[in-house]
């Protein structure tokens, strides 16, 4: 990547390791300034106490465990946004970038709460796209597949363990995959975080690989992300086609109003 004409300041939360760190390095490489947020700057590499990606069935999860993941992936970022938005709005510029997840769109069995927290964060950011556009604030969503960080190693298991009956189901297969990833990350984790960092910076700056493509709000990263997106989109298209007739049958006879579809014009 070539050095920038006009550097910006990037505030990156969770920049102590993994994707946050990779994005910080990519931003610095092209001349941006980075404010790297880390909750514990002296954290030893072998510690992994966070509740980022909580596996297990919802039957096995205690309510405080469910709250913890929503705090990390949903309410925590909202607090950061509420802190920075007034200044961004007053300035009339800035970009919000959510590191979402393919699993916020295509569900991974055994990760119900993680999937849910990411889906909630994504809908929040899709709403912000509309609400903040007039203030010239861009909102972008990054959808990574599986990238080789400590994300799986760092994921704690439910305190209660796993319910026996689920082990032969999709959850069992998913937990087997987690075991494989932990044993052989090089084989099972295809994504290179430093390349993700470069693509994210290019997407935000509209430089490099993003230079000549039409501006978009969402960026998929990783072959696995592309694959799962296609599957889900196909399934949604089939849902739409299969249910259209029944959907159109439930309005009051003779009613011609647009209902909530009017929001598409807002």
Ligand X SMILES: NC(=O)c1ccc[n+]([C@@H]2O[C@H](COP(=O)([O-])OP(=O)(O)OC[C@H]3O[C@@H](n4cnc5c(N)ncnc54)[C@H](OP(=O)(O)O)[C@@H]3O)[C@@H](O)[C@H]2O)c1
Residues that bind ligand X (CB under 6 A): 14, 16-20, 38-40, 43, 50, 52, 72, 76, 99, 101, 144, 146-147, 149-151, 154
Query: Of the two residues 137 and 151, which places its CB atom closer to ligand X in the complex?
Result: 151
CB nearer to ligand X: pick between 50 and 205 = 50
- In the bound state with ligand X, the residue whose beta carbon lies nearer, of 31 and 76, is 76
Q: Which is nearer to ligand X, 8 or 43 (CB)?
A: 43
User: Least distance in Å: CB of 2 to ligand X?
Assistant: 26
Q: Alpha-carbon dihedral of residues 199, 2, 13, 68, nearest 10 degrees?
A: 10
In the complex, the smallest distance separating the C-beta of residue 134 from ligand X, rounded to whole angstroms, is 28
Nearer to ligand X, 147 or 162 (CB): 147
CA trace torsion 73, 76, 77, 78 (10° rounding)? 120
**Least separation in angstroms between CB 204 and ligand X:** 16
- Looking at beta carbons only, is 67 or 138 nearer to ligand X? 67
SS3 183: helix
206 contacts 200 by C-beta, under 8 angstroms = no
Phi, psi dihedrals of residue 96, rounded to the nearest 5°: -105, 130
**Alpha helix positions (H), 105-192:** 112-132, 170-183, 185-188
CB of 229 to ligand X, least distance (A): 13
CB of 15 closer than 8 Å to CB of 37: yes
Kindly tell me which of 50 and 122 has the beta carbon lying closer to ligand X: 50
**Residue 125 C-beta: closest distance to ligand X, Å:** 13
Cβ at position 144, least distance to ligand X in Å: 4
The span from the CA of 6 to the CA of 31, in Å, is 9
Distance CA(74)–CA(211), nearest Å, equals: 31
Asked if 180 and 128 touch (Cβ cutoff 8 Å), the reply is no
Closest separation between CB of residue 70 and ligand X, Å?
Answer: 11
Calpha distance 41→128 (Å, rounded):
31
Pick 94 or 104: Cβ nearer ligand X: 104
CA triple 153-151-54, angle to 5 deg: 80
DSSP string, 52-86: SS--B-TTT--HHHHHHHHIIIIIHHHHHHHHHHH
CB 38, min distance to ligand X, A? 6
Whether residue 57 contacts residue 107, with contact meaning beta carbons closer than 8 Å, is answered with no
Q: Which residue is nearest to ligand X (CB)?
A: 18
């Amino acid at each position: 990547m070539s050095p920038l004409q006009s550097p910006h300041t990037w505030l990156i939360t969770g920049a102590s390791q993994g994707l946050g760190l990779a994005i910080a390095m990519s931003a610095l490489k092209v001349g941006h300034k980075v404010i790297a947020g880390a909750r514990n700057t002296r954290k030893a590499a072998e510690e992994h106490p966070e509740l980022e990606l909580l596996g297990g069935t919802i039957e096995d999860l205690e309510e405080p465990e469910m709250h913890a993941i929503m705090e990390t992936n949903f309410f925590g970022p909202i607090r950061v946004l509420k802190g920075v938005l007034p200044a961004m709005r007053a300035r009339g510029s800035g970009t919000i970038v959510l590191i979402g997840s393919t699993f916020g769109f295509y569900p991974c069995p055994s990760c119900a709460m993680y999937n849910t927290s990411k889906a909630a964060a994504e809908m929040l950011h899709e709403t912000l796209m509309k609400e903040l556009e007039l203030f010239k604030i861009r909102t972008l969503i990054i959808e990574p597949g599986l990238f080789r960080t400590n994300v799986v190693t760092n994921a704690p298991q439910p305190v209660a363990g796993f319910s026996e009956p689920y082990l032969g189901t999709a959850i069992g297969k998913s937990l087997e995959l987690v075991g494989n990833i932990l044993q052989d990350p090089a084989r099972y984790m295809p994504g290179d975080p430093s390349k993700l960092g470069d693509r994210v910076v290019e997407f935000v700056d509209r430089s490099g690989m993003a230079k000549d493509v039409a501006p978009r709000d969402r960026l998929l990263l990783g072959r696995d992300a592309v694959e799962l997106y296609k599957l889900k989109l196909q399934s949604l298209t089939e849902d739409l086609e299969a249910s259209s007739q029944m959907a159109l049958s439930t309005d009051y006879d003779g009613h011609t109003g647009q209902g909530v579809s009017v929001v598409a014009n807002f």
